[in-house]
Structure 1
């Protein structure tokens, strides 16, 4: 399937492919439609996750919530949250124990699903402005890094800010910041540009999640808050059970990117 084919798929068509077993990062899929992160926890931990998101809206902008036991909702009409993402992560006491392509065996009636904004949403706007997206062009998953910045804790939830990185030509960094700032519901403007060491990142070639990308001469690493942040908090806070999306393997929703664009 070509990049153009992937971009032309409707969200329902894309979800059907993942339900059928396809596993692939989703950057560039279903152009114009919003992609999202997932964090799924038992009802007992749901308030702490909600409060964590409320206190850390930059990395954890909530687009929707499925109540305990619900498997579908307005953002994935006719879909199934247990099967319609290419790959998931399952944590027990903060330890990654499985990366299934289907959550049916893990599902419980007390699980609450939080659908969290994703920076893939604003990538089309960057491309339309003539700003290339390295991980798409290089056929890789977006690189993501834990930082030395701490999120505001909430109940049992505490952890570091996670960021995604895109190399931007030095003379377009201001443009990238201006464009992405118009999407506050999907992380908005960058949190940092320039020296990775300022975020405690030692080596861009060794991301904590995703794949490294080449940073060409004349390009600056630019960092956005990332929706993998709740999973980093899960690893640190060690709830008995938590489920997420495999980083870069997003839920493709029926919402349109334009729904989250502010004037």
Structure 2
């Protein structure tokens, strides 16, 4: 695909609403968290303590909606195709953050698994979640994230089905993509992660494995959301599910014979 990260940001700024799965392949995608400055430092420490689930790509300056390390002409208030406002335990959707941006707002970008899609596609690996246009299921696991900065919570995992014969290549390729969560944490039996029902994910949509497929699990940036919710913060903002910040950073494309 010839679509770039900036292309997708510009169409989002112009009003595009939809998931970024399968879009701007080869460019790193990111989860977005916007916090008051007084909480941002502690939250960055939590991400640093959990680099597999929450690979921290950039932290903005208070009041500055730009993240120049991630892209030209990037504005986190407008350049995602969907946002969520978390206020007093209630969550509401928003088309942008223009009316919810303050002098002490700090943007933090955390790597997303979608950035691995280009490398897997280049290796000829089928991705059924992309064919379906779905984000895939995400589960709160029975593992705990490393507490830091006053934040703690469960490790959230994302799951996607792959043909059993492809799994060794999937593992090897994604292991070389640390900005997109790196190697998987688990494959196969969901009970080992405390997942009781594959058809009832905590977020996203179920994609049960078909015959000959194995479900593979990665650390997920929603570990950050789970920690924010557990902390009981009165107000913060995030991307909407599957509506990521697409950056100008090229994802590494590991060679595979």
TM-score normalised by length of structure 1 = 0.92
- 1:217 partnered with 2:248: no
In structure 2, the CA distance between the partners of 1:103 and 1:261, relative to structure 1 (3 Å rule), is farther
Could you tell me how far apart the structure 2 residues matched to 1:44 and 1:50 are? 11
- Asked if structure 2 preserves the Cα contact closer than 8 Å seen for 1:167 and 1:221, the reply is yes
For 1:137, the equivalent position in structure 2 comes to 131
For 1:54, the equivalent position in structure 2 comes to 48
Could you tell me how far apart the structure 1 residues matched to 2:18 and 2:136 are? 12
- Asked if structure 1 preserves the Cα contact closer than 8 Å seen for 2:198 and 2:208, the reply is no
Shift of 1:214: 4.0
* Match of residue 13, structure 1, among 7, 17, 30: 7
- Asked if structure 2 preserves the Cα contact closer than 8 Å seen for 1:182 and 1:262, the reply is no
1:98 match: secondary structure: strand
- Asked if structure 2 preserves the Cα contact closer than 8 Å seen for 1:228 and 1:247, the reply is no
Shift of 1:96: 3.7
In the alignment, structure 2 segments of 5+ residues that lack a partner are none
* Match of residue 159, structure 1, among 128, 145, 153: 153
- 1:12-58 deviations in Å (ceiling 9; x for gaps): 22112111222111011112211111111111101111110111111
In structure 2, the CA distance between the partners of 1:247 and 1:98, relative to structure 1 (3 Å rule), is same
- Asked if structure 1 preserves the Cα contact closer than 8 Å seen for 2:32 and 2:107, the reply is yes
For 2:30, the equivalent position in structure 1 comes to 36
- 1:58-77 deviations in Å (ceiling 9; x for gaps): 11111111111111132131
Shift of 1:171: 2.1
Could you tell me how far apart the structure 2 residues matched to 1:218 and 1:31 are? 27
In the alignment, structure 1 segments of 5+ residues that lack a partner are 1-6
Shift of 1:261: 6.3
Alignment of 1:173-192 (within 5 A): 173-192=167-186
Could you tell me how far apart the structure 1 residues matched to 2:71 and 2:165 are? 38
For 2:85, the equivalent position in structure 1 comes to 90
- The CA RMSD measured in Å over matched residues stands at 1.8
2:238 match: secondary structure: strand
Could you tell me how far apart the structure 1 residues matched to 2:74 and 2:125 are? 33
- Asked if structure 1 preserves the Cα contact closer than 8 Å seen for 2:85 and 2:91, the reply is yes
For 2:95, the equivalent position in structure 1 comes to 101
Could you tell me how far apart the structure 1 residues matched to 2:138 and 2:158 are? 4
Shift of 1:129: 1.6
